[in-house]
Structure 1
């Protein structure tokens, strides 16, 4: 059974998860790939914004405005309570995966851990096509997802699936996320090999489609360095990048 992100308790539990790896190196890599620092980047779509942490992080490092959209009213309720900023506008994604924006209006788009939560490729395709619709020509879409090649790798901060177990395309897979002073949060995700997302992007019309697997620099000795040893040699995430 899919994790029900519409439940307020699930949204609040996810908010309790401390995004150590994302904060340390993944978000900055995502923003760079999306071109959020470009001079002509002013309006950004965060599709699947969750509780608004990524939108908040964008504003800390970039002079842009963010449209933070999510399907879950509970996620948006937490976001609007915790992260009120005039540069963020929140909206609910419709049942057809659409957002309330005109064609070709935005300068960039990002999404974080959206497709790992979706059990069918038709929905993935609809989302990718919707993002394509609202981007201006030349704009970039960057997607941060769990690296499907990291199944079973014993990261301290979170482990996806069981080591030695092979998962079929689209098969349900457990993700366990570490939380401070609490039991790990267990999420039911879905296993999508990299080529699935690359194919969806190409089919939607994107060009220059590619990916990067960011790792933590081996010399990193900042916050949580002792908890981020495996991340120096194995990428927990994959960033897919495509241009309209």
Structure 2
């Protein structure tokens, strides 16, 4: 754990309190996530498609209301299993008409009911930013490694805190003019489907810290990529692409996809 994390001395769970309870679950189900659907999830699915086949078990670690897990099941033909720390999020996910096979609660850092090496792949979208210190990040990565068979891929999607203060189509990371160190608390604004904005407490983890932590958790062959709007032309929904000019996304793409293989 770095000195900055020690000095903050944060306690509590590894997730964002805004996600807990019905009051937290319902707003997350209404997040628009246009930038993610342009520069994030299609690239996560592409990375997974290179490594898994139809029928393989894919765990969505931090599945939230299950929207991305459902799309992954339909796009990849995988048997998707959603896990989350929030019972209310899982209740919301179960209530949807979904292609997700099953859902499991994470308790005390462990996905209940899932055996070691049960997964052919794991995706983990926007979970790392909710974690308060390096020990918590390492704990999540270690649990993901437990779920994976040797040689199986892990794909992480995260915001890059170097893009602080820019107004993207569906999010803003931190406050304009602020500089955030590793693990520093920041606020992310997310656009909802009704046009309003929701604020979420996150932490600024630069992509450069991921390789060492992944290797410490039992991964190898770590690679990172910042997807661009140009690359998205062949992957994202054409209607989504045409619907906005994506000026900020073109100037500085805010998302990073990290891939690694379990040892």
**TM-score, scaled to structure 2:** 0.85
CA gap 1:148/1:97 in 2 versus in 1, 3 angstroms: farther
| 2:92 matched residue in structure 1 | 78
CA gap 1:123/1:238 in 2 versus in 1, 3 angstroms: same
Q: How many angstroms does 1:5 deviate by?
A: 1.4
The 5 Å alignment of 1:130-141 reads 130-141=143-154
| 2:205 matched residue in structure 1 | 192
User: 2:259 and 2:178 mapped to 1: Cα distance?
Assistant: 28
| 1:201 matched residue in structure 2 | 214
| 1:113 matched residue in structure 2 | 126
Name which of 143, 156, 165 aligns with 1:152: 165
CA gap 1:180/1:102 in 2 versus in 1, 3 angstroms: closer
CA gap 1:105/1:36 in 2 versus in 1, 3 angstroms: farther
Name which of 26, 30, 42 aligns with 1:16: 30
User: 2:155 and 2:227 mapped to 1: Cα distance?
Assistant: 13
User: 1:57 and 1:144 mapped to 2: Cα distance?
Assistant: 15
| 1:240 matched residue in structure 2 | 258
Determine if the alignment matches structure 1 residue 214 to structure 2 residue 227.
yes
Unaligned runs of 5+ in 1: none
| 1:3 matched residue in structure 2 | 17
* 3-state DSSP of counterpart to 1:159: strand
* 3-state DSSP of counterpart to 1:79: helix
User: 1:183 and 1:84 mapped to 2: Cα distance?
Assistant: 26
Is contact 1:42-1:107 (8 Å) kept? yes
| 1:162 matched residue in structure 2 | 175
Q: How many angstroms does 1:182 deviate by?
A: 4.4
CA gap 1:36/1:81 in 2 versus in 1, 3 angstroms: farther
User: 1:241 and 1:152 mapped to 2: Cα distance?
Assistant: 26
The 5 Å alignment of 1:222-233 reads 222-223=239-240, 225=242, 226-233=244-251
Deviation digits for residues 5-46 of structure 1 (CA, Å, limit 9, x no counterpart): 112111111111112122234211011223466337611010
Is contact 1:150-1:160 (8 Å) kept? yes
**TM-score, scaled to structure 1:** 0.91
Unaligned runs of 5+ in 2: 1-9, 11-15
The 5 Å alignment of 1:34-73 reads 34-35=48-49, 38-39=52-53, 42-73=56-87
Q: How many residues align?
A: 243
User: 1:40 and 1:179 mapped to 2: Cα distance?
Assistant: 32
